Each structure stands twice: as structure tokens, then as C-alpha cells.
Structure 1
Amino acid sequence: MASISLKIYSAALKTRTNVNVIIPTLLPAQDGMNKREHEFARFYETHGCYPVLYLLHGTYGDEGDWQRFSRIEDYARHHNVVVVMPYGENGAYRNAKSGKDYEVYITEELPKVIQWMFPVSKKREDTYIAGLSMGGGGAVRLGLSHPEVYGYTIGLSADFGLITENVKNNEFTVWSHAFEGVDLDADETSNSYKLAEKAMTEERNRTRLYLACGTEDFLYQENCRFHEYLDEIGYEHEFSTREGNHNWDFWDSEIKKVLDWLPLTPIEQELGF
């Protein structure tokens, strides 16, 4: 894998921001033998238009979390997928009154930047969004709101209401700046339940959903309620639950399962192993 750290100016955020990108590249000979021939031309001539996964971090995190604390590079190499990891502050991936429009940045501006810079597909069926905790709730909300962008959406230990309840009930939280001036009782853009219900009434392709949460996670009951609601309204989805807590042991093993679930071609299959 090639690992690239970008610093770009974002018009939606009105500031410079960081993005990490990992891209599948040429692999060495599997038998470990050195060869006189240089077999790079065919790889770079035939590989392009990779599927792309936008991977969001949680509260207090940054663009480097997934690479530091999980084996995402190894999993992405195996599945031939580009992974884009943006910095989202503690902004819940929302448009804010302060002018930092994270929803516009993630769903509109960043995909344009990535498509301009890297060999990724522009098709919605090749474009995925995932995240953990705050990022999981953000990914689900953005996936449901923008099915024309994301064919597949994944929420790991996702927040489906805890953040908004904290903002409503406390004078200050780490997420307060993202909700300044918002009537949370009337704001349906924060409510994944409303967004899922709306998606069921619209004549367009719905994003495919995958949810996962450990049984010891403090967000487990919240995830179970959302899963049950999706069942109630008939929104087809995957719900993975097993023993696990709100930590990287669970998220690392689950993102591996997610990549198996996505419509990706493993490198061994491509190479005929």
C-alpha cells in the first residue's frame, strides 16, 4: 500500500485540513525471489478506478486513528480498495453555524478532491462511507442523506442520539459548536430514524446499511433500538453483534468483516492464487 498524508485547503471548512489516503500498489513476488525482469508496467497500466471507502474517526480522534490503532492498511491491500480518512474535529460531521460545513466537505468537496487526485471510481456503487462512534453516527446520517453518493454505509458502535441528548442537556459539550443555533427537537437532519423513514418513501436507490456494536458497549442498546426500527419500517440491513466493547479490539475485527461484506475483489482472486 501507498500511504499518503495530505494537507489541503477546504472551501467548505474555510481552513486547511488533513486527510490520510492509502492506495493499493504493486506487490512483491509472493515466493520472495528476486527476478531480473521488472514487472511493473502491466500493474500500473491495468489498475485504476479503485472502489473507495471514506472512513471517519470518533470523538477526540483524527485522520490517523485508523492507521495507528487498526490493521486497515493490510485489510485494504487484501481487498483492493482505496481508503480515505479525513479529519473531522469533534464536529459530528455536520454543517455548523460557525461556517465549518463538514457535511458539504465530506459528501461533496472531498470526493471531488479525491477523484481529481487518485485513480478511484466515481460510481456510487463503488463508493462507501463508514465510521466508528461519532463517526459511525455521522456515516449513517450522511449515507442515508446522500444515497446518490454512497452505495454502501457502515456504522460501527454508532451514535444514534447520545450526542444530541448531551448537547440538549448540558450547557457545554465537546460537540456544542457543531449544534450552535440548532433546534434539536425540530432538526431532522440529526435524526437517523427520520432519515431512514424518508428513504423508505423515496423512489431512488437506498444506500445499503451495515451496523455493528459489541454487547458490552455503552451504545449497544441505542444500536439495538435503531436496528429494530429499521426492521419495523422494512429497511433491509445487516446487524452484527457479539461480545465486545467500545474499543479498537472490536472495531479492528469488525472493519475486516465489513470489507468482506462489501462488493470487493480480494487480491488473491485477482492474481489467481
Structure 2
Amino acid sequence: MALITLNRTSAVMMSQTLIKVALPDDIGPGEKLPTVWLLHGLGDDGTVWQRKVPVEQYAVDHHWAIVMPGFDRSFYMNMAYGSPYGDYLEKELLPAMRNLLPLAAAPAVNWLVGNSMGGYGALRLAFLHPRWFSAVAVMSAVADLNSVLPIMPDHEAVFGPDDQELPTAQLAALVANAERPAVHRLRFYQTVGADDGFRPANDALMKLLTTKYGLHIDYHVDPGTHSWRYWREHLPTVLDWLAAGRG
């Protein structure tokens, strides 16, 4: 197994970026690997996955690449007062990684996974570009951006003065403008702890996506809170779910 660190200068960000990638050892000549784009939560960075879970072993077990970029506290969008993380994600990161590493580009073998803020980011990217992926799985997602304002003193750095950009950044607004046939082809997995403070917003998002937009969500509420204990326990299940849907 291999865990590599990539430091590269981003043309979009105009700064150095750090990306962790877990790879299996036995990559055949010309082989292109299925890829999980694993997005971190608020207050973490791309290194958190290697520190909290056996991410290298997951790459070996499934024979996948697992890409773990760092997105600071940006919510995976262009910050009002900060860096253009949204453009970096949507325009640069994926093709850059595929140029550097043997990653498959086919949507059927590209999947989004994230926890907390990363769960929001995974759903955001899936709704903006549903043709790029075949599945998205989120754990304890920030399903309503209003829920993070009390715990995020720098929220205006992302959403602008008086959070003026927040309404259009809500997942409910993004799915309303998403390409319907392409979104309906996606597989969705959503899990949240029974005692997670974000559970009511997750319940509401699941209901909206299933009743108003007719999406099928593989939805799970299990014992737990908004914590790494919960995510450590559930990431293997998420990855197995992705693998089971490949056929």
C-alpha cells in the first residue's frame, strides 16, 4: 500500500496546495484506478483521514485510489473573503490529479464521500456536476448551512457580509437548479447519528430530496453523535456500499 503527499502550486488558488492520496501497490501497466474523492469537515484538513482511519488499507482492500484534498474552512466554495476554493475544486483539482496519477475519469468509477462540512461539499459538487460521478455518500452532513453559524465565528468570510451568499449556497437551492436526469442517475447514501445535533436538518434534507425531487436516498440513522467515533465506524460501510453498486 502507499500513501503519498502532493504539494503543488495551484493556478487557481495562486498558492501551494496539499493533497494526500492512498493507492494500492499493485497497479498494472496502463491501469486507471476507481477513485474516491474524500472530503473533510470543518476544522480539519486532508491529512485527518490518515490520522483517524486506516485509509491506506481501504485503498488496498478495494483496489481504489482515495484522494484527500485540503479545503480549509471554505465549505468547498469560493469564499467571500478568502480563496476561490470552489473554482479550484470544480476546474482544477480533478483533472490535475488525473494528469499526475493513474486515476480513472469515467463517472461510473468516480465517487464523492464526505463528513460534516465535507458531506455538504460532496452533495454540493454532485448537484453542480452530476455527470462527473455515479455516487455520493455523506456522513453527518451539514445539511442546512444555518446550523453552523453559531459554531463558526468566521462564517462571513465564506458567505459574505450578513451571510448574503448563504441562501443560494444551501443544498435545497442547489438541487433545485441541478440537471434533473443526471441527478436521478446518481446513487445517494446518507447516514447520521441518532444524537447528532445535525440530525433534524439531515432528516429534512432527505425528505426534501425524496418527496419533492424523487431521488432515492439510502438513509441510515444509527446510534452516535457528531464525532470521529461515528465516522470511523461508518466509513467502511460507506465504502462497501460504493463497491456493491459497481456491478
Shift of 1:265: 9.7
Letter in 2 for 1:158: A
Alignment partner of 1:204 is 2:174: no
Q: In the alignment, which residue of structure 2 is the partner of 1:214?
A: 193
Asked if the contact 2:7–2:19 (Cα under 8 Å) also holds between the matched residues in 1, the reply is yes
Which structure 2 residues correspond to residues 134-173 of structure 1 after superposition, within 5 A? 134-161=117-144, 163-164=145-146, 166-167=148-149, 173=153
Letter in 1 for 2:188: L
- Aligned-pair identity (%): 27
The one of 78, 82, 96 equivalent to 2:61 is 78
Q: In the alignment, which residue of structure 2 is the partner of 1:183?
A: 164
Q: In the alignment, which residue of structure 2 is the partner of 1:61?
A: 44
Alignment partner of 1:126 is 2:109: yes
Larger C-alpha radius of gyration, 1 or 2?
Answer: 1
- Distance between the aligned counterparts of 1:76 and 1:59, measured in 2? 24
Q: In the alignment, which residue of structure 2 is the partner of 1:226?
A: 205
- Distance between the aligned counterparts of 1:177 and 1:141, measured in 2? 19
TM-score under structure 1 length normalisation: 0.81
Structure 1 ranges of 4+ moved more than 4 A = none
Letter in 1 for 2:2: A
Three-state SS of the structure 1 residue aligned to 2:67 is strand
Question: How far does the alpha carbon of each residue in 1:48-73 deviate from its partner, in whole angstroms, 9 at most, with x for none?
Answer: 21111111111110111011011222
Q: In the alignment, which residue of structure 1 is the partner of 2:20?
A: 20
Higher helix share: 2
Shift of 1:12: 2.0
Asked if the contact 2:115–2:139 (Cα under 8 Å) also holds between the matched residues in 1, the reply is yes
Alpha carbons of 1:242 and 1:203: their partners in 2 closer, same or farther (altered >3 Å)? closer
Asked if the contact 1:51–1:81 (Cα under 8 Å) also holds between the matched residues in 2, the reply is yes
Aligned residues: 243
Output the aligned Cα RMSD. 2.3
- Distance between the aligned counterparts of 1:175 and 1:8, measured in 2? 27
TM-score under structure 2 length normalisation: 0.89
- Distance between the aligned counterparts of 1:252 and 1:101, measured in 2? 30
Gaps of 5+ in 1: 27-42, 267-273
- Distance between the aligned counterparts of 1:205 and 1:193, measured in 2? 13
Question: How far does the alpha carbon of each residue in 1:50-109 deviate from its partner, in whole angstroms, 9 at most, with x for none?
Answer: 111111111110111011011222222111110111111111111123462212212221
Three-state SS of the structure 2 residue aligned to 1:44 is coil
Letter in 1 for 2:140: S
